[in-house]
Structure 1
């Protein structure tokens, strides 16, 4: 399973979340403790927001620990809101288009989990996409298709309704559907966990960090306050408060 870390708040160097914490995302790329696989080495990526609506995007197929550019980038780039991801692939080959985050317009999206019956429903899902999200598809993963389906079902208007409709069209298969995701429009971070059977992959929301910001992470980055995101409910994380979407 993949690992996720995301932040919103006063602008900080990306390294404050991705590199420096005791159990940072970089550390989790080799030593995850709350996933089936300890190693997440099938690529990584970051989406970050500064001025303008469209985020910057950096993705590669290298393991996060093997790319010196990542530590340099995270040291030099500051952002008020960013999403980051390290991948352990379960669907789709190891390629840059299959690395997270996925981005369309102002929206960015990262995912941990799997739709095991995706090959059986892929054509139906693709045919249901409106022209714009269909044209945005670059990879072959179930993760990207979840994101595009959310956009097609009105993510920009009502994330809660879009998620409910997306889960409905994904349906059920012989193995459980598991979705833990974080997404953003550049103004807020949204976190969500779902499993059709058994527990959903982990996701935690931080308390207020020492600089007044907030974060999501698959595993707690440090010894501060980290609360599990409840299943089947979107959580909206802003600076400095977090609230649940009704």
Structure 2
């Protein structure tokens, strides 16, 4: 349904991660190689990145396809960063939210993306919605499944859970309420990357002296890429990657 990517490490031009690679996110918008659900990611794109000394990321999001944005190539060429999260979107359902429904979602230091779809949305998650404060529901950034999943994750982060706990404690109840959902989640605060595999592909690339990239699919054919097994929680820094199995929700 989407393709996404996160990076933490040495400062690089944004375009080196998104545009220049032969199979980068830019090309994945129309020619993904590992996408089983949908073929074209033309319903919006977004890039969030961090500047030195500023913990709050900047975002550039648009409702149209990434290849149609005339400003992106200049932006990607001149802006350098040591951390980013980017996504191209294939909408689960068409709607009026457009840009607001496009990842990355953001709050404070966090950037978030959801690659997948919640089965039976929105009815299937009504029990989970009943447990949220009214102001959370009224403040959703968009009326889509990904924005709701982000609200769940952010609520757990605000309660003091660490990123790995927040993602795991979101995936399990959503999967229990909506069996068959695809819940590949991606989260960064500019220093770490946390992700889940639940029904879709994920790869990571760790290069000593440079950093760590986590992506829906490899952006080139270099041998550094490692596929993450399904039902896995990934926690990464520029120097380490840790994989932990995710347990299926109890019936």
User: Which structure 2 residues correspond to residues 20-169 of structure 1 after superposition, within 5 A?
Assistant: 20-35=20-35, 36-50=37-51, 51-91=53-93, 93=95, 95-130=98-133, 133-134=136-137, 136-154=139-157, 157-169=161-173
- Shift in Å, 1:236: 1.5
SS at match of 1:192: strand
* Structure-1-length-normalised TM-score: 0.88
Aligned twin of 1:188: 192
Coordinate RMSD, CA, aligned: 2.2
Greater shift in the superposed pair: 168-177 or 74-83: 168-177
The number of residue pairs the alignment matches comes to 240
Contact 1:91/1:114, CA 8 A, preserved across alignment: no
Alpha-carbon spacing, 1:132–1:215, altered in 2? closer, same or farther (3 Å): farther
Question: 1:178, CA displacement in angstroms?
Answer: 0.7
Counterparts in 2 of 1:188 and 1:9: CA distance versus 1, 3 Å: same
Looking at structure 1, the residues matched to 205 and 3 of structure 2 have their Cα atoms a distance apart, in angstroms, of 16
Q: State the distance in 2 between where 1:163 and 1:31 align.
A: 29
User: Which whole-Å CA distance do the structure 2 matches of 1:6 and 1:132 have between them?
Assistant: 30
5+ residue gaps in structure 1? 195-199
Aligned counterparts of 1:171 and 1:85: Cα–Cα separation in 2: 22
* Local SS of the residue matching 2:173: helix
Instruction: Decide whether the 8 Å contact of 2:204 with 2:214 is kept in 1.
Output: yes
Contact conserved, 1:3 with 1:28, CA < 8 A, in 2? yes
- Whole-angstrom distance in 2 between the partners of 1:171 and 1:101: 22
- Is there any run of 5+ residues in structure 2 with no aligned partner, and where? 246-251
Displacement over 2 Å in runs of 4+? 121-136, 153-165, 171-175, 230-233, 243-246
Q: TM-score, normalising length from structure 2?
A: 0.87
User: What residue is the counterpart of 1:221 in the other structure?
Assistant: 219
